[in-house]
Amino acid sequence: MSAVTTAPRTKGARRNRRRTAPLTSTQLVYVVLGLIVVVSALLTLTKDRNFFSQGNLWTIFTAMTVLGFIAIGQTLVILAGSLDLSVPYVASLTTLVAGGIMAGSDANVIRGVLTALAVAALIGLASGLIVTLLDVHGFIATLGVGLIISGYLASNYQGSTGQAAEDLKFFGVTGLGVMPYVAIFMFVAAGLVWAALRWTRWGHHLYAVGGNRAVARMSGVRTAYPVITAHVLCAVFAALAGLTLLSRTGIGSPTIGSQGRYDLFSIAAVVLGGTLLAGGKGSIVGTIGGVAIFAVLDNVMGVMGINPFLKDFVRGLIIVLAVAVYARRSIVRRPARFGHASALGSVLKEDA
Amino acid sequence: MDAAVVLVARGMTKSFLGNTVLADVDVVLRPSEVHGLVGENGAGKSTLMKLLAGVYQPDSGTIELDGREVGFGHPVQAQRAGVSTVFQEFNLLPERTIAENVYLGREPRRLGLVDTGAMNRDTAELLAGLGITHLKPGTLVRQLSVAEQQVVEIAKAVSFDAKVIQMDEPTASLADHEVELLYSIIERLTGRGVAILYVSHRLKEVFDLCQTITILKDGRQVSSGPASELTEASLVRQMVGRPLTSYFPDKVPGTEVGEVRLSLQGAGNPYVDGVDLTVRAGEIVGLAGLQGSGRTELVEAVFGVHPFDRGSMTLDGKTVTVRSPRQGVRRRLALVTEDRKAKGLALNQSILDNALGVVRAVLPSRAGAARRELPGVLSSLEVSARGLDQEVQFLSGGNQQKVVLARWLSIEPRVVLMDEPTRGIDVGAKHAVYELMRQLAADGVAVLMVSSELPEVIGMSDRILVMRDGVLAGELPAGATEEQVLALATGAATEDGAA
């Protein structure tokens, strides 16, 4: 105690402590990913297999692609303070629209892809307009839009129909080294979105609107524009995911999206990646980390032959633990002045 | 009209739902002048500022800027024209950097992309122009103190080449040494010819800073003229029609200091350390100190928000541990928090639900009695509201604070902890809070009050405890001077000051 009174703390000292602050959320995501990779590699070894073999890495990158596309879009709408629950239905619709137009013919690839993307963009535009002009929260707006699409799919398609062009199927299964072309495309798209968030006014305004719409408005930002464009892009990314699925299965399916549970898994991946569910804070880099965590987990659980129910159990556990850690980190902002509470103590401490 | 005039507003009138909140008010702002705008809450100060800022549009009246009549349909229009406003509630994004906040909505671009480098350089230049060199443009606003966030707001205002900067209660949440910084910034701004419209409840500041003072009461202009023609007493009289002598009420006759209600021995947690103190029944103890000295943390620790992890605490002679606010309430502790909007009230709920929130949650057996007593409590606090079912967000700051007080009175507290109980409320409501503190003392309650306003600490306290860097720096008797308190708070005279 006397030590404190004789050595008054300067502002500089406090600042230094801030600088040695713990990892950012994004860094933490990759630390967790690294740990999971190490553990997975060891577990894989026990089965006399190599985690880092070309085949296994290919499998992981393949698994990342569809969820990756959807999660990129989901990151945008969540950053803007909205949410998109219609992504699985958009993806299903895309497989049917594109598969229907292609009908197995290489001549129709471009037309099929563009039409599917345009349809998705229109759906995203509708969601965006509902969210901004009618002031309906994204959760409800896209739940409604998702149900509408789901109803349309159920009443118009009795089962799988349409057929992917051979070119598209071939594109889906080829790649460079350990990475399928589609995965490379997904990473490039993630990079572009990352750059746009960082270097364009649109990106800055997206963060601003998601962080605090009133503040953004008072600063002269057109608050509707970033939200609408985020919804359009999200739907387009869902369509890219749908096209990826089409390239793998070869046929259009009205239920492939909802079977993948991409709505909830994409939100989980985004949040796992350190993005604030309330909006205004987060990054694409983190989201890709979240997607990778899911892919690696699935991979190692597949290798270990774990039953599907236990898989969901593990996924759920990871989501809850991760978000609990983030929540605690954002609460404890004030540095302790006296003593250092043990890590265990701070975890066990009753919440304020 | 004289040449040296930058902004003239004439006949400003505004009503909401047929309720006139501002009627025929004139303001003339001159370059390099600090113009004080005073009045009780609800007098129309905020409305006037918002009219000039383009947040609201006047029903009638004209605004002339540099001799040209202007109309602002949006705050950004006003800013571009040269009228910037630093609102009491900051318009900042905590998760974005200083530079991103300053240039939000008009980020500098090169080749179509946001030029972060230029943005950071310009921000550093703006800050340097205000005499601030220790803030980095890339720092997240979340990591800044309240005073530093205010500097960012001012830098943002200046970045529009402002001719007029309005400041709404800029010192409301600043400690005294931070106020000095604000003063120096204002000096630099007026030195460049900027006119400042300065709204404050702290009359001393108004007299320190302002050359001209406009007084509003009930939406009307009482007077507008040189500060030199006013005294604090005449100013208060014009504002409220009540003389200054009754500012701090006397003790209620028959108030007796009784047994020890609350005592701490060597109590500490991560934020405060080695705290020894006692508060007796019937006593009002002031807790002074600079912002960040641990005052809030101390009362929060007593209440169980961040429980003590060492030392001991007794209530009415019994050793207790309070591990959560719920346990605190059970022990009949009350904490009036410093931020009533975030921690004191559920803004979109009714007065009734807010006033009974604590008692219903923690002491349900008392809820019925509290409900019956409530109308009496509210009327004794002089809460002016449409009815018990009115949502508290529509009340003025003073009335909101009274609802907070009613909420805590409902548990029949033995110890009342108050953190900045009069922050951001008008003179009349302040007076009601002071009267209530005196009455609590007369009823044998122990009151521990944290306050950044030294006159308040000195005027109300039976004893004054001063904190510095998380420990008690010393104790002063009633009647101590502001200088003595400051000396302890800053450590300027540690040798003879530490009791």
Distance from CA of B454 to the nearest CA of A (A): 22
Cβ proximity of A153 and A254 under 8 Å? yes
Distance from CA of A129 to the nearest CA of B (A): 21
The 10 Å CB-count burial string (b at 16+, else e) for B20-57 is: ebbbebebbbbeebbbbbbbbbbbbbbbbbbbbbbbbe
- CB-CB neighbors (< 8 A) of B92 in chain A: 215
- Inter-chain CB proximity B93 and A4 less than 8 Å: no
High-pLDDT (> 90) share of chain B, %: 52
pLDDT level of residue B88 (50, 70, 90 thresholds): confident
Does A9 score more than 70 pLDDT? Answer: no
**How far apart, in whole angstroms, are the C-alpha atoms of residue B149 and residue B127?**
12
Interface test with A, best of B77, B91, B93, B273 (most A CBs within 10 A): B93
Least CB–CB distance from A4: residue in B74, B113, B469: B469
Handedness of CA A63, A69, A72, A73 (dihedral sign): negative
Q: What does residue B267 show for φ and ψ, rounded to 5 degrees?
A: -75, 140
- CB-CB neighbors (< 8 A) of B468 in chain A: 5, 8
A 10 A CB-CB count for B143 gives 15
Per-residue pLDDT, A351: 38
**How far apart, in whole angstroms, are the C-alpha atoms of residue B38 and residue B31?**
20
Amino acid identity of residue A93, one-letter, is L
**How far apart, in whole angstroms, are the C-alpha atoms of residue B81 and residue B390?**
39
Query: What average pLDDT does chain A have?
Result: 86
A:260-319 residues touching chain B, CB 8 A cutoff: 276, 280-281
Enter the tokens of residue B340: 């009533």
- Inter-chain CB proximity A337 and B470 less than 8 Å: yes
Distance from CA of B376 to the nearest CA of A (A): 33
pLDDT level of residue B241 (50, 70, 90 thresholds): low
CB-based contacts of B390, cutoff 8 Å, min separation 6:
B350, B351
Distance from CA of B179 to the nearest CA of A (A): 17
- Inter-chain CB proximity B105 and A341 less than 8 Å: no
Query: B164 has which bridge partners?
Result: B83, B195
Per-residue pLDDT, B246: 55
Give ipTM to 2 decimals.
Answer: 0.77
Handedness of CA A133, A139, A142, A147 (dihedral sign): negative
Q: What does residue B96 show for φ and ψ, rounded to 5 degrees?
A: -110, 165
How many Cβ pairs within 8 Å bridge chains A and B?
A: 107
Q: Which tens digit of pLDDT belongs to each residue from B356-390?
A: 989 888 998 998 999 999 999 998 888 888 888 88
Long-range contacts of B44-48 (CB under 8 A, 24+ apart): B44/B216, B44/B218, B44/B219, B44/B220, B45/B168, B45/B199, B45/B216, B46/B168, B46/B199, B47/B14, B47/B21, B47/B22, B47/B219, B48/B9, B48/B12, B48/B22, B48/B216
Domains of chain A from N-terminus onward: 23-329 (1.10.3470)
**How far apart, in whole angstroms, are the C-alpha atoms of residue B75 and residue B90?**
14
Q: What does residue B8 show for φ and ψ, rounded to 5 degrees?
A: -125, 120
- Chain centroid, CA A269 distance in Å: 5
Domains of chain B from N-terminus onward: 7-246 (3.40.50.300), 260-497 (3.40.50.300)
Per-residue pLDDT, A350: 38
Q: Which tens digit of pLDDT belongs to each residue from B42-76?
A: 678 888 999 999 999 999 999 999 988 998 988 88
Amino acid identity of residue B84, one-letter, is S
pLDDT level of residue A346 (50, 70, 90 thresholds): very low
Q: How far is CA B364 from CA A163, B38, B376, B411, in A?
A: 66, 43, 20, 10
Which of A26-40, A335-349, B57-71 is least confident?
A335-349
DSSP class of B410 = T
Cβ proximity of B399 and B424 under 8 Å? no
Among A205, A316, A281, A200, CA closest to A26:
A281
Average pLDDT value for residue range B395-422: 92
Q: Is A11 on the interface with B (CB under 8 A)?
A: yes
Sequence length of chain A is 352
Average pLDDT value for residue range B84-93: 88
CB-based contacts of B478, cutoff 8 Å, min separation 6:
B458, B461, B462, B463, B464
**How far apart, in whole angstroms, are the C-alpha atoms of residue B461 and residue B287?**
9
**How far apart, in whole angstroms, are the C-alpha atoms of residue A82 and residue A85?**
10
Cβ proximity of A321 and B454 under 8 Å? no
Which of A35-49, A327-341, B423-437 is least confident?
A327-341
Per-residue pLDDT, A347: 41
